[in-house]
DNA sequence: TTACTACATGTTTTT
DNA sequence: CATGTAGTAA
């Protein structure tokens, strides 16, 4: 069996799989088979007799973890199920479910993981309670600031007394309510591993092999956890894989230095993989050209070029449009073409963009064109109001002391229990030292309100009893939907309500799957499924079988590949993002994001931008992205061709030189006075003056 | 005290 | 455009 695993690999990959005597760093460019090598290593270890549960593999997304597990299952059979394969966060969650009470800070193993929206809500409330003026914080990202202070990313927050008070208040609230946020999953895990020798040694003993994918995006806390788990011993088998050029999470604390530190701290052996197996070479040369613009790169990395044996392939297509809607229609028509004439499956096609909001225009048009699609991220399925409401009912029914979730749904649907009543109940419950739910019983209010409270309490009790009696998970959702009045409320909303009910039925599907996936009684199953959902993203929900075009940010498709990739809205201020262009580091990270985007494509790559675009409901005019121009340059000759819809196809022309006389359709005769990248500064007659125009633009011609 | 309506306010990227 | 908040009617 070992041989079969190794068979599919090239020499370098095989060396990497077989080297298990000490720390190893596999450092290699996109599509060179890093993930495949890591997967094979796990399979190889199991096949050569290592107990699967002694291997810990840490991935960046849950989807990556799941796919890796499936592939290992294929290679070595059900033994793979015993192996630990998860994200750092899932690992932390699993760890804390067992050990959190040892912190003795008031949290117990029944804690609930809250998501970012919940955290923001708590922070907002804390701000109000502390009487802090919101405006003293830099704009919108209070959550990010609190989080950065919490985990110690000094570069990302402005030190202030208010911020510290706010974090303290927020943290108190979490602990009082037995809640844990994403950061806590890592922080508490690290704390316990640091302080508790017995536990630490247990895990050090348990994991003989530790493997980490996407190492370039680990942060300092995760690196500390790794060090503790590996016992800091250099003879331990710890293998990390990464590509410094694909480090795109610095905003979340991804630490570039981890790469070098790892080699230094562990005296790690380094293996590089050089051949790309994903893309045709015209796509790869675009990626090579782009990333060369970055000056701050991993040592000796700059001489690296991606190359494959897959031929030169189709030239990447550069397209400019007058209006955003033209761009969207072009993409829709191109997709239809790819599906109808090239036999592409929708799921092999991805539309990638820098910011979530850019998906909207595509969604609307795809519906018209009847193109099936799935959006990764943005308003995630699990963040939808109706989904979170139903989940809150489930959580409260499972554990009546969960005040946070009680507050969410006590007046949804409307039960005449408004802010004032809820606030008083909360104060009262604190006063008598009981949960809000229990406090209802002895809470003294106007008779009408009391009646409403009692009937709410009765509903929840009914759900709790159903859980005690081991109701089916999907029946529980039905019960909640029907008996809470939630369904009626949605039905009264009309069309939108129908959509929402659809979403809840989808959630019901997730619960139904959990029914079979997990062991134990209803309570235990619920706990597991709620845990899983709390760390799930849209990309995870997409079960492989769904044949839909993918709409996603670049960040969410890290590690994935598609036959055809559309990089859309390639415009300055959007990509690179306006906030990133003032620092070199920021700009280089944006460029790495573009590099990740290009290297997702196997066969077809389209880069598009539009002169005008609606944002905030207002029309804006944008210049093409510098990344668009930087890469277009590799394409050489001009090939202007006019097509319908006011759009224009062209390729860069490097044959213009300073001093050339040119003729412009609108501005007439002019002379090139400077060339900045692919933009020419041209002096026209006095009436038009100096203009900047993209070289190769069809309106611009060289005059003899 | 609740619930509705008008208004303003703000979008980078995520486990 | 879409969400949250402030102000007002009931
Ligand atoms: N030796 C090989 N022979 C054939 N195909 C291979 C080989 N190694 C990798 N591949 C294929 O190349 C593609 C890219 O592999 P993989 O996703 O592991 O690369 P990666 O280095 O992890 O990429 P990224 O950096 O983008 O995450 C996959 O489709 C994989 O099946």
Residue A649 pLDDT > 50: no
User: What three-state secondary structure class fits A663?
Assistant: strand
A2 as an active site residue: the answer is no
pLDDT at A652 over 60: no
DSSP state of A235: T
Right CATH number for A1-94+187-273 from 3.40.50.300, 3.90.550.10, 3.50.30.30, 3.60.20.10? Answer: 3.40.50.300
Q: Which atom of ligand 1 is nearest to the CA of A273?
A: 21
Looking at A183, A214, A386, A633, which residue is catalytic? A214
A550-CA/B6-C1' distance, Å? 38
A255, A278, A600, A613: the active-site residue? A600
Residue A298: predicted pLDDT = 83
Mean pLDDT of the A40-44 span:
94
Residue A213's pLDDT is what?
94
What pLDDT, in 10s, does the model give residues A439-467?
999 888 888 888 889 999 999 999 999 99
pLDDT of A638: 33
Task: Tell me the sheet residues that pair with A112.
Answer: A179
Strands A373-375 and A549-553, by their bridges, are: parallel
Say whether pLDDT at A469 is over 90: yes
Asked whether residue A636 carries a pLDDT value surpassing 50, the answer given is no
- Pocket residues: Cβ below 6 A from ligand 1: A 8-10, 13, 28, 30-36, 243, 246, 277-278, 559, 561, 599
Report the distance separating Cα A44 and Cα A447, nearest Å: 70
A332 CA distance to ligand 1 middle (Å):
29
C1' nearest to CA of A556: which nucleotide? B14
| Nucleotides of strand C lying closer than 7 angstroms to a protein CB | 1, 3, 5
A131 CB inside 7 Å of strand C:
no
Least confident of A16-20, A73-77, A105-109, A657-661: A657-661
pLDDT at residue A136 is higher than 90:
no
Q: Exposure pattern of A150-177 as b/e (b: 16+ CB <10 Å)?
A: bbebeebbeeeeebeebbebbbebbbeb
- Beta carbon of A617 within 7 Å of strand C? yes
C-alpha A97/C-alpha A535 separation (Å) is: 14
The residue-averaged pLDDT of A172-190 equals 92
Q: Tell me, what's the pLDDT at A345?
A: 93
Å from CA of A202 to ligand 1 middle: 35
Q: Between the CA of A568 and the C1' of B6, what is the distance in angstroms?
A: 36
What is the whole-number distance in angstroms between the Cα of residue A222 and the centre of ligand 1? Answer: 25
Q: Which of residues 368-407 of A touch strand C (CB under 7 A)?
A: 379
Instruction: Give yes or no for residue A642 having a pLDDT over 50.
Output: no
Query: Which of A624, A640, A611 lies closest to A677 in space, CA to CA?
Result: A624
**Average pLDDT of the residues in A24-31:** 93
* ipTM summary value: 0.89
State the distance from the centre of ligand 1 to the C-alpha of A263, rounded, in angstroms: 24
A117-133 pLDDT, tens digit per residue, is 888 888 888 887 777 76
Q: Check if A340 is active-site.
A: no
* Residue to mutate, A277, A350, A594, ligand 1, most ligand atoms under 8 Å from C-beta: A277
Domain A307-379+543-632 = CATH 3.60.21.10: no
Q: Is A213 a catalytic residue?
A: yes
Distance between CA atoms of residues A109 and A100, nearest Å: 6
Q: What is the pLDDT of residue A665?
A: 56
Task: Tell me if the bond preceding A40 is cis, omega within 30° of 0.
Answer: no
Confidence (pLDDT) at A547: 86
Mutate to test the pocket of ligand 1, among A9, A33, A34, A59 (most ligand atoms within 8 A of CB): A33
CA A525 to ligand 1 center in whole angstroms? 36
A124 touches strand C (CB under 7 A): yes
Mind listing the pLDDT tens digit for each residue in A256-304? 788 888 888 888 899 999 899 999 999 999 999 999 888 888 877 767 7
Which has the higher per-residue pLDDT, A686 or A204? A204
What's the pLDDT band for A331 if we cut at 50, 70, 90? very high
Euclidean distance between CA atoms A690 and A137, whole angstroms: 42
- For nucleotide B11, the protein residue with its alpha carbon nearest to C1' is A357
Q: SS3 of A74, please? A: helix
Which atom of ligand 1 is closest in space to residue A600's alpha carbon?
A: 26
Question: A687 pLDDT exceeds 60?
Answer: no
Write b or e for each residue in A192-202: b if 16 or more Cβ atoms lie within 10 A of its Cβ, otherwise e.
bbeeeeeebee
Q: What class is the A382-535 domain?
A: mainly alpha
Residue closest to A527 by CA, chosen among A7, A112, A105, A39: A112
Q: Sign (positive/negative) of CA torsion A418, A120, A102, A537?
A: positive
Structure confidence at residue A646 (pLDDT): 30
- Scanning A131-181, the segments in alpha helix (DSSP H) are 142-151, 161-176
> What is the structure's pLDDT at A690?
54
What are the tokens at A94?
């699993």
Q: Which two tokens stand for residue A650?
A: 């062209």
Among residues A12, A13, A32, A35, the one annotated as catalytic is A35
Q: Is the CB of A616 under 7 A from strand C?
A: yes
Q: Quick one: CA torsion of A212, A217, A219, A222, rounded to 10 degrees?
A: -20
Listed as ranges, the nucleotides of chain B within 7 A of a protein C-beta are: 1-4, 10-15
pLDDT value at position A694? 60
Element at A224 (helix H, strand E): helix A220-229
CB under 8 A, 24+ apart: contacts of A517-522: A521/A470, A522/A467, A522/A470, A522/A471, A522/A472, A522/A473, A522/A476
- Give residue A350's pLDDT band: very low, low, confident or very high (50, 70, 90): very high
Could you give the CA distance from residue A22 to residue A233 in angstroms, rounded to a whole number? 9
**Across-strand partners of A565?**
A350, A605
> What percent of chain A is helix, strand and coil (3-state, nearest 5)?
50, 15, 30
Q: Is A621's CB less than 7 Å from nucleic acid strand C?
A: no
Answer whether residue A110 shows pLDDT above 80. yes
Nucleotide nearest to A360 (CA to C1'): C1
Amino acid A595: pLDDT:
95
What is the per-residue pLDDT for A233?
A: 64
What's the mean pLDDT when you consider all of chain A?
84
Q: Is the dihedral of CA A36, A41, A46, A52 positive or negative?
A: negative
Residue A370 catalytic?
A: no
Mean pLDDT value across residues A74-94 = 92
pLDDT above 70 covers a percentage of chain A that reads 86
CA of A349 to the centre of ligand 1 (A): 18
Percent of chain A with pLDDT over 90: 41
- The mean per-residue pLDDT over the stretch A595-613 comes to 93
The pLDDT of residue A378 is 62
Q: Is A246 among the residues known to form the active site?
A: yes
Half-sphere exposure (Cβ direction) of A575: Cα atoms closer than 13 Å: 28
**Confidence class of residue A229 from pLDDT cuts 50, 70 and 90?**
very high
Quick one: pLDDT band at residue A146, thresholds 50, 70, 90? confident
DSSP lists the bridge partners of residue A694 as A679
A143-A146-A151-A157 Cα dihedral, nearest 10 degrees: 100
Q: Residue A26 is encoded by which pair of tokens?
A: 């596999």
The set of residues, in sequence order, having a beta carbon less than 8 Å from that of A279 and lying 6+ positions away, is A31, A287, A306, A308, A310, A313, A599, A601, A602, A603
Residue A573 confidence (pLDDT): 87
What is the distance between the alpha carbons of residues A351 and A365, in angstroms, rounded to a whole number?
Answer: 13
Q: Is A133 or A182 the better-scoring residue by pLDDT?
A: A182
Is the pLDDT score of A332 beyond 80?
yes
Helices (H), A83-181: 88-99, 116-130, 142-151, 161-176
Atom nearest to A32 CA in ligand 1: 21
β-strand A668-676 against A661-664: which pairing, if any?
antiparallel
How many Å does it take to go from CA A486 to C1' B4?
20
A134 touches strand C (CB under 7 A): no
Output A12 or A236, whichever has higher pLDDT. Answer: A12
Least confident of A222-236, A253-267, A417-431: A222-236
pTM of the model as a whole: 0.83
pLDDT at A569 (0 to 100) = 93
Calculate helix-pair angle for A142-151, A182-195, nearest 10 degrees.
10
| pLDDT score recorded for residue A419 | 80
Query: Is there a catalytic annotation at residue A140?
Result: no
Q: Quick one: pLDDT at residue A63?
A: 83
Distance A418 CA to C10 C1' (A): 15
Q: What's the average model confidence in pLDDT over A103-112?
A: 89
């Amino acid at each position: 069996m070992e041989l079969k695993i190794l068979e599919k690999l090239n020499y370098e990959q095989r060396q990497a799989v077989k080297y298990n005597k000490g720390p190893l760093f596999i450092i290699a460019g996109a599509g060179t088979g890093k993930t495949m090598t890591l997967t094979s290593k796990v399979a190889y270890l199991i096949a050569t007799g290592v107990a699967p549960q002694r291997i810990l593999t840490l991935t960046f997304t849950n989807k990556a973890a799941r796919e890796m597990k499936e592939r290992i299952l294929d290679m070595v059979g059900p033994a793979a199920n015993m192996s630990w394969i998860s994200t750092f966060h899932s690992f932390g969650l699993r760890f804390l479910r067992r050990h959190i009470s040892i912190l003795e800070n008031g949290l117990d193993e029944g804690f609930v993981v809250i998501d970012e929206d919940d955290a923001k809500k708590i922070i907002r409330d804390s701000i109000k309670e502390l009487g802090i003026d919101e405006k003293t914080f830099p704009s919108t990202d209070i959550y990010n600031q609190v989080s950065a202070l919490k985990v110690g990313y000094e570069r990302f927050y402005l030190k202030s007394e208010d911020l510290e008070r706010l974090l303290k208040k927020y943290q108190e609230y979490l602990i009082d309510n037995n809640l844990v946020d994403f950061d806590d999953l890592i922080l508490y895990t690290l704390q316990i591993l640091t302080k508790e020798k017995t536990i630490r040694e247990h895990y050090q003993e348990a994991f003989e092999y530790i493997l980490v994918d996407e190492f370039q995006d680990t942060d300092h806390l995760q690196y500390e956890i790794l060090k503790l788990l590996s016992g800091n011993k250099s003879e331990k088998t710890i293998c990390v894989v990464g590509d410094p050029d694909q480090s795109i999470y610095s905003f979340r604390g991804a630490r570039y230095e981890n790469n070098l530190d790892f080699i230094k701290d562990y005296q790690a052996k380094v293996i590089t993989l050089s051949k790309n197996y994903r893309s045709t070479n015209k796509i790869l040369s675009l990626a090579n050209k782009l990333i060369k613009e970055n000056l701050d790169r991993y040592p000796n990395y700059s001489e690296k070029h991606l190359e494959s044996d897959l031929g030169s392939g189709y030239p990447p297509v550069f397209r400019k449009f007058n209006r955003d809607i033209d761009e969207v229609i072009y993409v829709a028509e191109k997709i239809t073409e790819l599906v109808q004439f090239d036999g592409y499956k929708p799921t092999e096609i991805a539309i990638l963009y820098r910011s979530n909001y850019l998906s909207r225009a595509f969604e609307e048009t795809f519906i018209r064109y009847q193109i099936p699609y799935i959006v990764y991220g943005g308003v995630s399925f699990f963040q939808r109001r109706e989904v979170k409401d139903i989940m809150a009912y489930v959580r409260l029914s499972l554990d009546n002391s969960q005040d946070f979730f009680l507050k969410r749904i006590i007046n949804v649907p409307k039960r005449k229990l408004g802010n004032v009543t809820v606030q008083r109940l909360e104060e009262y419950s604190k006063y008598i030292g009981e949960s809000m739910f229990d406090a209802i019983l002895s809470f003294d209010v106007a008779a009408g309100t009391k009646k409403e409270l009692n009937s709410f309490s009765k509903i929840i009790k009914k759900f709790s009893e159903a859980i005690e009696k081991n109701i089916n998970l999907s029946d529980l959702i039905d019960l909640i939907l029907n008996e809470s009045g939630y369904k009626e409320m949605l039905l009264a909303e009309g069309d939108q309500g129908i959509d929402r009910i659809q979403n809840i039925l989808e959630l019901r599907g997730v619960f139904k799957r959990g029914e079979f996936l997990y062991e134990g009684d209803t309570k235990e199953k619920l706990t597991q499924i709620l845990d899983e959902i709390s760390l799930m993203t849209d990309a995870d929900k997409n079960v492989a079988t769904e044949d839909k075009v993918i709409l996603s940010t670049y960040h969410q498709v890290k590690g994935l590949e598609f036959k055809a990739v559309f990089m859309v809205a390639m415009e300055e201020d959007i990509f690179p993002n306006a906030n990133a262009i003032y620092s070199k580091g920021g700009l280089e990270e944006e460029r790495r994001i573009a590099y990740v985007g290009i290297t997702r494509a196997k066969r077809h790559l389209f880069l598009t931008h539009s002169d005008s675009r609606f944002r905030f409901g207002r029309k804006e005019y944008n210049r093409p992205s510098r990344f668009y121009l930087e890469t277009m340059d590799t394409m050489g000759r001009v090939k202007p061709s006019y097509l319908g819809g006011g759009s224009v196809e062209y390729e860069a022309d490097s044959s213009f030189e300073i001093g050339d006389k040119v003729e412009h359709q609108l501005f007439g005769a002019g002379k090139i006075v400077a060339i900045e990248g692919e933009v020419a500064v041209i002096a026209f007659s006095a009436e038009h003056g100096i203009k900047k125009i993209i070289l190769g633009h069809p309106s611009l011609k060289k005059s003899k």
